[in-house]
């Protein structure tokens, strides 16, 4: 029993060897500062421009609309605080959803302290935010609308194009946190019609510590880091060239793998079917409008951290929305947002598969998981009460 | 995150299950908070001759239940009443701060089972502190803060 199944790709991914190879020369050979005017700097600048153009082309942006950051969280912070503060004279109201990533939720909390009012639109029980619900939340003084493209826990994919249209009808800028989407499903900023879009390298086999923000030309947004003239004077700090090169390479590889998404989807659906066969289990969120690799399920009468620990002991790595896996007492705000009762949300698990997973991995999860659920249920005082009913 | 002892008691819990013809049962916690602990006692001549538990909860909740049952097995009722959450934590070689409440739950479950026994016997008592094991409702410091 030495099988290891990594099924937590929504948390992070290993760096692809081809990405490492592409990065290496930029540590020891082509190590110049892109801002230097001599030849070593020029070479670095050329590589930086090339990486920016390649990334821009993949997501349908212009190169000068791509701004490199240190991570998805920084991109989210910049997009939201930068737009809110730049437009504060017009109004101090923001519309977002109630199941955003903490990088967005806690940024909203910070803006609230600055006097902004936030309306949190709830997704439906299928985990999808409706454009109509967003429309109803918009007010005269709304200065930003932001809804995530794909949810990090349940993987549901929102109708971003339609939501962006709703915002634009009212002449309000629209930002989407696409950290879970970019590199996993096709994303084209022009087609989506968004003003800003964030993504992060380590979700698609680039290293941790590199992200980007797409900012459509003409968008009113404050400078995030004052400094040298990097990133068109909007985000100071010497560019992290090796990581930028790595992210460009990783995104190209990721996009090339889209042709294999049907295989990931088929594995995910088989996993979902197997999970449905476990009594008292629930699949959370729509299975059709969803990232190919994501499945989120709740198992009644057991608690998520216990499930996680026993899966870990069996070599399976997953994630949970249980409160007990964190320092807070509340279970996942995402699962509560889609209407899951608190006691059931405690027993949730997320598996996020990638192209690296195999059918054998799915077989193994489906062999181990029902036994673990049953083993914990045998210990659970809630289970015998339910069985006696 | 967890000590080897916690992992041992979580993966191989002692005294797990229901006790038939238990003399007393104590249950604390609730599903909303994410943990419920139920302790069964067999009491003979003031001695806890057998004990078992059923727990819904995280790894620490299961491990503290298991350890608490081990610590009171064969003890007198008075000795069992002296069981503290701290003793459970120490016997497990420590718990992460956010998991200390699980040990409180174990202590309270034992006390509630004994209270149930006293009630059945018609013995007056003042055992229960009123902790339902849900930290949202309780602001006691059980050693989570120095």
The second-level CATH assignment, the architecture, of B4-121 is: Alpha-Beta Complex (3.90)
Tell which B residues from 19 to 38 touch A, by Cβ distance under 8 Å.
27, 31-38
A303, A313, A379 ranked by CB distance to B34: nearest: A303
Show contacts of B68-76: CB within 8 Å, 24+ apart.
B68/B39, B68/B106, B68/B107, B68/B109, B68/B110, B69/B14, B69/B15, B69/B39, B70/B14, B70/B15, B72/B48, B72/B110, B73/B15, B73/B48, B74/B47, B74/B48, B74/B49, B75/B47, B75/B48, B76/B46, B76/B47, B76/B48
pLDDT digits (tens, 9 = 90+) for A45-88: 999 999 999 999 999 999 999 999 999 999 999 999 999 999 99
Q: Which structure tokens are listed for A382? A: 């809630």
Testing the interface with B: which of A298, A324, A327 to mutate, by most B Cβ within 10 A?
A: A324
The second-level CATH assignment, the architecture, of A5-13+260-388 is: Alpha-Beta Complex (3.90)
Domain A17-256, CATH among 3.30.750.24, 3.40.50.300, 3.40.640.10, 1.10.600.10:
3.40.640.10
Calpha distance A135→A201 (Å, rounded): 32
Binary contact (B27, A381; C-beta < 8 A):
yes
Instruction: Give me the pLDDT at residue A322, please.
Output: 77
pLDDT(B145) > 50: no
> Where do the structural domains in chain B lie, given as residue ranges?
4-121
Query: A337 to each of A175, A270, A281, A334, B4, how far by Cα in Å?
Result: 21, 26, 18, 5, 36
What integer best gives the mean pLDDT of chain A? Answer: 96
Q: Give me the interface pTM, i.e. the ipTM.
A: 0.90
CATH 3.90.1150.10 range(s) for chain A read 5-13+260-388
Instruction: Give me the pLDDT at residue A386, please.
Output: 75
The confidence band for A325, taking pLDDT boundaries of 50, 70 and 90, is: low
Among candidate residues A193, A158, A179, A191, the one with its CA nearest the CA of residue A247: A179
CATH 3.40.640.10 range(s) for chain A read 17-256
Q: Which residues contact A251 (CB under 8 A, 6 or more apart)?
A: A54, A55, A58, A182, A183, A201, A204, A206
Closest residue, chain B, to A314 (C-alpha): B11
Distance from CA of B118 to the nearest CA of A (A): 23
Binary contact (A346, B135; C-beta < 8 A):
no
Instruction: Give me the pLDDT at residue B144, please.
Output: 45
pLDDT digits (tens, 9 = 90+) for B5-36: 999 999 999 999 999 999 999 999 988 888 99
A309, A323, A383 ranked by CB distance to B34: nearest: A323
Residue B133 sits at the chain A interface (C-beta within 8 Å): no
Testing the interface with B: which of A381, A383, A387 to mutate, by most B Cβ within 10 A?
A: A381
Q: What is the mean pLDDT of residues A220-244?
A: 96
Binary contact (A381, B36; C-beta < 8 A):
yes
* Catalytic residue flag (residue B33): yes
């Amino acid at each position: 029993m030495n099988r290891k199944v990594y099924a937590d790709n929504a948390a992070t991914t290993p760096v692809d060897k081809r990405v490492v190879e592409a990065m290496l020369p930029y540590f020891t050979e082509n190590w110049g500062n892109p801002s230097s005017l001599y030849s070593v700097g020029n070479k670095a600048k050329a590589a930086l421009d090339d990486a920016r153009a390649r990334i821009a082309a993949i997501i349908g942006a212009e190169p000068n609309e791509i701004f490199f950051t240190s991570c998805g969280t920084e991109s989210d912070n910049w997009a939201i605080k930068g737009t809110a503060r730049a437009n504060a004279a017009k109004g101090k109201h923001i519309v977002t959803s109630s199941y955003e990533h903490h990088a967005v939720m806690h940024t909203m909390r910070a803006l609230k302290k600055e006097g902004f009012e936030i309306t949190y639109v709830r997704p439906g029980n299928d985990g999808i935010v409706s454009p109509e619900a967003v429309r109803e939340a918009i007010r005269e003084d709304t200065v930003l609308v932001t809804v995530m493209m794909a949810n990090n826990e349940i993987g549901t994919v929102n109708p971003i194009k339609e939501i962006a249209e709703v915002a634009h009808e009212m002449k309000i800028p629209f930002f989407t946190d696409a950290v879970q989407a970019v590199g996993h499903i096709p994303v084209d900023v022009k087609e989506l019609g968004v003003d800003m879009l964030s993504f992060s390298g380590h979700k698609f086999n680039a290293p941790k510590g590199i992200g980007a923000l797409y900012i459509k030309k003409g968008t009113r947004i404050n400078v995030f880091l004052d400094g040298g003239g990097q990133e068109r004077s909007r985000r100071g700090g010497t560019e992290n060239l090796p990581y930028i090169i790595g992210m460009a390479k990783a995104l190209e590889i990721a996009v090339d793998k889209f042709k294999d998404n049907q295989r990931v989807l088929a594995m995910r659906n088989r996993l979902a079917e197997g999970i449905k066969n476990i009594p008292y289990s629930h699949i959370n969120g729509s299975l059709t409008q969803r990232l190919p690799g994501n499945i989120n399920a709740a198992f009644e009468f057991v608690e998520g951290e216990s499930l996680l620990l026993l899966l870990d002991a069996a070599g399976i790595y997953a994630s949970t929305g249980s409160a007990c896996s964190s320092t807070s007492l509340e279970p996942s705000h995402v699962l509560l947002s889609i209407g899951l009762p608190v006691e059931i949300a405690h027993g949730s698990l997320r598996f996020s598969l990638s192209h690296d997973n195999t059918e054998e991995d799915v077989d193994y999860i489906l062999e181990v998981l029902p036994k673990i659920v049953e083993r914990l249920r045998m210990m659970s005082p809630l289970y015998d009460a339910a069985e006696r009913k | 995150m967890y000590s080897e002892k916690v992992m041992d008691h979580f993966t191989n819990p002692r005294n797990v299950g229901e006790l038939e013809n238990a003399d007393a049962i104590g249950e604390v916690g609730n599903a909303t908070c994410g943990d419920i602990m139920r302790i069964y006692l067999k009491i003979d001549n003031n001695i806890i001759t057998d004990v078992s538990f059923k727990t819904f909860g995280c790894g620490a909740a299961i491990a503290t239940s298991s350890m608490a049952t081990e610590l009171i097995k064969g003890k007198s009722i008075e000795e069992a009443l002296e069981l503290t959450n701290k003793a459970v934590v120490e016997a497990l070689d420590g718990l992460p701060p956010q998991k200390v409440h699980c040990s409180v739950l174990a202590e309270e479950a034992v006390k509630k089972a004994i209270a149930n026994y006293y009630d059945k016997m018609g013995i007056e008592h003042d055992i229960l502190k009123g902790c339902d094991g849900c930290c949202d409702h309780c602001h006691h410091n059980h050693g989570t803060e120095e």
